[in-house]
Amino acid sequence: MHDDDIIKLVAYVGISKVRSNVLNFIGDDLRYPSQIAKELNIRIQHVSTALKELKEKELVECINEDVKVGRLYRTTNNGKQVITLMK
């Protein structure tokens, strides 16, 4: 991905406190949406929306898409670059 594209993604994540917090909380770990909601004190609906948006931008990925309950998310390489640039 080009530097300009990463910078645009930094801006996209940065304008939303929820997206920013969710991406940073996942970091280098695997996280459940319920865990993210509980730890960040955010409604699960907001976490789900943020994860959907981050997934569409290829900043996070679900590693077990086939299950309904207990989905695990992790950051992609692009997501890690965005986290680094946001610091």
Residue 85 has pLDDT above 90, yes or no: yes
Percent of the chain with pLDDT over 70: 99
Helices assigned H by DSSP within the chain: 3-14, 17-26, 33-40, 44-56, 77-86
Q: What is the pTM of this model?
A: 0.93
Fold annotation for 3-86: Arc Repressor Mutant, subunit A (1.10.10)
Region 5-15: mean pLDDT is 95
Pull the structure tokens for residue 13: 């994540």
- Span 43-83, pLDDT tens digits: 999 999 999 999 999 999 999 999 988 999 999 999 999 99
Contacts with 83 (C-beta within 8 Å, 6 or more apart), sequence order: 23, 24, 27, 75
